[in-house]
Every structure is written in C-alpha cells, then in structure tokens.
Amino acid sequence: MKINIHMVVTCFQMIMGTVLTAAAFGMVIIPRGFAVAGVTGFSKVLTGLIPIPLSLMVLIVNMILFMCGFVFVGKEFASKTVVISLLFPATLEFFMQLSFDCSNQSDIICIIIGGIMLGSGVGLILRSGASCGGFDIFAVILNKKFNLSVGMVLNICDAVIIMTQALTNRPSSTLYGILVITVSARVANLLINFKVMEKVRTDFSLTK
C-alpha cells in the first residue's frame, strides 16, 4: 500500500496545529486571564451570561458557524473545517483540566510563551491548507455574499470581542491579550513563509 507523504504531512500539521492552539489557550492565555479574540473570546463572553463550560460553548458556536458555512459556502469548504471545529474544543477541555500552573511566571514570559504556541498552531493549520474555523467561516460567507474583505471582517470581529472583554477585564488583561495576538501573528507569518520543504526539494534535485 503506497503512502501519500503529502497527505500524512498535511494531516500532521493540521492536528498538531490544533493541539498547539488549544494548549496555548487552555494552559496559558485563559488561566492568566488575558483577553482572547476569535471564537474562543466570543465564547468566553457568552459563558459570562450562560453558565456552561467554555469548551462546550466553543463547540456550540463552532457548530453553528460550520452549519452556516455548509449552507452558504458549500460542502468542500465545510469539509476542511469540520475536523478542527470538533477537535479544538475537545483538546481545549483537556488542557484546561491539566494541573499545569503558570501563576509563578511573569506576565511577559506568559505573553511570549502563549504567543509562540498560538502562532505556531495557527501557522501549522494554515500551512496544511485548512481553515482555523470559527469566524474564518463568517468572514468567508460575508466575502462571498457582499464581497467584503475577509481580513477586514476578522479584524472587526476580533476588535469587538476584545473591547467587549475590556468592559469587565482589567486594562492590563486587555493589553496583554493584544500583545499575545501580536506575537502570535508574527510567529504564524514566519511559519507560513518558512520555505524549508522547498529548500529540501531543491537540494535533492541538485544532487541527482
């Protein structure tokens, strides 16, 4: 049986990226009380109104967005996000249940660690050709229906979610959350643009 190496690498990147993203939220960002963007941040706001576990709220919101993507965008797009939409809440709950304690670390160390883990996770997911799910789906729907920029929609969603949390969080928590997002965006961009595989293929062709 012939193994498709590309498919194996793609699946590994997608799963490892999801695990790293969940670990960043469950072990560092949420325990430290940093402001959170995306579906996790939106779900965090909702759990303040509806007393259910955060991981369950994330699953519910992801499933609603997934169904919207299935109806308004199509099966092909939805199939690329369903695995992450289901895997992320499960791994988030796992990491939140660990006895890992980051309270003895300084805020700046946690910002760096959380940002690197989150950025690495997102970068791996995007390198696999999959979507991170969540508000990516909402942005794609608005882009398809109203030709709105995906990046603009995501930025607006994140800004609204962060500002909503700022109404109840300490100002420092909001600032730290923004710093985590900044670090993670930088790491994700570096990972997405990392050309190690292309270099390996080039080196191999030169030695033939």
How many other β-carbons are positioned within 10 Å of the β-carbon of residue 103? Answer: 7
Q: How far apart are the first and last CA of the chain?
A: 26
Rounded Cα distance, 182 and 95, in Å: 23
C-alpha of 182 from chain center = 13
pTM: 0.80
Q: Which pLDDT tens digit goes with each residue over 149-189?
A: 877 888 888 889 999 998 888 899 999 999 998 899 889 88
pLDDT in tens, the chain (208 residues): 456 787 888 888 889 999 999 999 999 999 999 999 889 999 999 999 999 999 999 999 988 988 887 888 777 666 667 888 888 999 999 999 886 777 678 899 999 999 999 999 988 987 887 777 678 778 878 888 888 887 788 888 888 999 999 888 889 999 999 999 889 988 988 888 876 544 444 443 444 4
Q: Which residue bears the tokens 């988030």?
A: 92
Q: Which residue bears the tokens 């994140």?
A: 158
Supply the pLDDT for residue 195: 62
